[in-house]
Amino acid sequence: MNDYFPKNFDKNETVKISAVAKDGLDVSSVFAVKAKTGEVVEINDGTLKLDSADVKIYANTTRKIWKITFWVDDYIELFDKRNSDNKIKAESVRGISTDKTFIDTKANLDGVSLTSYKIVSKKEFAYVPDTSRRGEKIALALNNCDDNFLISSIYSTFRCNDDQILSPEFLFLLISHSEFDRYSRYNSWGSARETFDWDEMCRVKIPLPSIETQRELVTLYKGLKNLAEQNEAMLKPLSDACQAFI
């Protein structure tokens, strides 16, 4: 995928694709995408009528929107929300596992002040920047429940700045994958300990289909995951029965 048109267009400008295309480019392979939403803009007879200036034009004979990637920093934001009023108590304290879930903490919290702990609410993410000694994985999680969690102040918390453009659940599918473990470890830096800091997180590129497609993919993934878990649960008694006959 190549962005052949780095120039900035003016709003309401009519662009003749052949006039701005690189030499030898097949104009029929060109399509345009709104940079913020990922929406494909139609090109009629080689002419593009812009209703905004945030359009990028690409060339690819397959025209697959999946091939287009966007810097994730346009769609996520770091935040720091503390339990300063001490309203959230110790039973809500969580750790973060490399299995991409929040887990009950093993720390002894007797006498520990929780006012400096960070709050993670529904549809918000948390991750551990330190990727050293974690089995080549990154510890991160998305809060999918209605309860607020407390996490250590050394962890990073972030969220999607507009969930009508980027679904938190869809983003979680992308960054909970084993390939992201590999990526985050490769891009962790340090001597005594290696960290995947916020700047590196912002350099991640993601595909950005329409919000409807994102939701469909999340629903499909959840359905397949539930089916796999049900099948696994069914296999255990069958395995036990087979062992009994042996």
3-40 confidence digits (pLDDT tens): 434 344 444 445 544 444 444 444 455 555 555 555 55
Return all residues near 165 (Cβ < 8 A) that are at least 6 apart: 36, 37, 38, 75, 208, 211
> pLDDT digit string (tens) for 39-60?
555 565 555 555 555 555 554 4
> Can you give the pLDDT at residue 43?
60
> Can you give the pLDDT at residue 44?
57
User: 215 with 167: CB under 8 angstroms?
Assistant: yes
> Over the chain, what is the mean pLDDT?
79
User: 57 with 112: CB under 8 angstroms?
Assistant: no
Q: With H, G, I as helix, E, B as strand and everything else as coil, classify residue 185.
A: helix
Average pLDDT over residues 78-88: 96
**Distance separating alpha carbons of residues 168 and 183, to the nearest angstrom:** 20
180: left (phi over 0), alpha (psi -120 to 50) or beta: alpha
Q: In this prediction, what percent of the chain has a pLDDT beyond 70?
A: 70
- Residue written as tokens 């990154």? 138
